[in-house]
């Protein structure tokens, strides 16, 4: 076990790549004379997670061996489970100008320095292989495939010294590092913690499964993804208002907390579900909710494929316990939230609305039924649509 009796990080040690103030000042001066590599949004998100230890045991963007290990066998070169490549890519012309053993400054879209990398390795970014093995498709309409295919053709890897995990970060009061969430769990006396990953507002179905999970754990961490998403997803600032309202009014303040996860969404379905669980272990979480079509998009993945993929791994190697939930709904016959496991009902007994129907109601300023979503959440979404959010 790790210190404080909490679950060990993936690989046993929590990584920290952020330098101290003195080293930061020296690196900032040095960066002015180095080639600059501008990171796109996904790679900025990945760098932040590497820096604070959320991607432990990774201490750098993946090597060639790690990249192919993940794509071929869902394992790092060390043998630890991992299912999504974490890479830093550039175009071939840029790669040709970078000598092995030299340093480059990694910057954000405004050319502000984020980190210094000593380039120890350059390798071909097999994007087609990544899409086939991770996304299970090469369809350019898949948002994760589209981002991957837009990346550079050469990957860089080497030791990182991170000056800052992010310039001008949003939601700083909720942007807790793994070290900080672990300290908070310790402070609250939580030995078992369940995390809920989401990129949507929490409706009654989500509320039901999170509260079911909370019945068997000491605490619940609602951990929404607030990094890169696709057009059409509800903006993170709107979702954050929804989470705050819901936790304030409908959850135990003693047993629940909200923190943001500044990751890029890959929409890789089952493969991404494994990563979503592994990184939460680094945050000190012991249990992880895996629901219907976890991390899915469109019709690329089966409804419960993510839950099935967990069964292909040794539970001891994964470490965190997946809590698998079926689709839930309000059952008029039972007078409560339910699933096919807990009630026998006909479709007519169920309050079920399509996403299109909900959007149409909200656009007209109408609240969906209270059995579907809490009125406070509906009002926030209605106001957002009126404002063009």
Q: Which residues does the annotation mark as catalytic?
A: 199-200
d(CA 69, CA 154) in angstroms, rounded, equals 17
- Given CA atoms 184, 188, 191, 197 in this order, what sign does their dihedral have? negative
* Nearest CA-CA partner of 322 in 310, 304, 308, 339: 310
Cis preceding-peptide flag for 57 (omega within 30 of 0)? yes
Tell me how long the chain is. 389
Q: Which of 148, 83, 137 is nearest to 297 (CA)?
A: 137
DSSP character string of 113-134: EEEEEE--EEEE--HHHHIIII
Buried b or exposed e, range 115-133, using 16+ CB within 10 angstroms: bbbebeebbebbbebbbeb
Instruction: Give burial (CB, 10 Å; 0-12/13-18/19+) of 255.
Output: middle
């Amino acid at each position: 076990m790790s210190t404080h009796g909490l679950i060990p990080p993936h690989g046993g040690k929590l990584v920290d790549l952020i330098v101290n103030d003195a080293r930061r000042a020296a690196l900032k001066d040095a960066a002015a004379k180095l080639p600059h590599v501008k990171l796109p949004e996904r790679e900025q998100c990945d760098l932040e997670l590497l820096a604070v230890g959320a991607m432990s045991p990774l201490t750098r963007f993946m090597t060639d061996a790690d990249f192919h290990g993940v794509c071929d066998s869902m394992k790092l070169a060390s043998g630890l489970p991992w299912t999504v490549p974490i890479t830093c890519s550039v175009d071939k012309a840029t790669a040709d100008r970078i000598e092995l053993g030299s340093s480059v400054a990694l910057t954000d879209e405004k050319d502000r320095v984020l980190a210094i990398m000593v380039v120890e390795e350059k390798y071909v970014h097999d994007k087609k292989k990544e899409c086939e093995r991770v996304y299970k498709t090469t369809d350019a309409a898949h948002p994760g495939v589209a981002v991957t295919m837009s990346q550079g053709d050469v990957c860089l890897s080497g030791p990182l010294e991170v000056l800052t995990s992010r310039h001008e970060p949003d939601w700083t009061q909720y942007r807790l590092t793994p070290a900080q969430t672990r300290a908070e769990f310790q402070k609250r006396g939580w030995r078992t913690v369940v995390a809920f990953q989401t990129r949507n507002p929490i409706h009654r179905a989500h509320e039901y499964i999170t509260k079911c999970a909370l019945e068997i754990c000491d605490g619940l961490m609602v951990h929404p993804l607030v990094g890169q998403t696709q057009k059409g997803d509800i903006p993170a600032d709107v979702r954050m208002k929804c989470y705050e309202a819901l936790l304030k009014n409908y959850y135990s303040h003693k047993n629940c907390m909200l923190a943001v996860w500044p990751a890029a969404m890959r929409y890789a379905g089952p493969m991404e579900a494994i990563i979503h669980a592994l990184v939460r272990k680094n945050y000190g979480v012991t249990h992880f909710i895996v629901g219907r079509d976890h991390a899915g998009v469109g019709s690329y993945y089966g409804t419960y494929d993510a839950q099935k993929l967990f069964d292909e791994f040794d539970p001891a190697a994964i470490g965190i316990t997946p809590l698998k939930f079926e689709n839930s709904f309000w059952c008029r016959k039972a007078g409560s939230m339910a699933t096919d496991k807990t009630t026998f009902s006909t479709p007519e007994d169920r309050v079920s609305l399509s996403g299109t129907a909900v959007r149409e109601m909200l656009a007209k300023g109408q609240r969906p039924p209270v059995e579907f979503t809490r009125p406070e959440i509906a009002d926030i979404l209605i106001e957002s649509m009126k404002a063009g959010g």
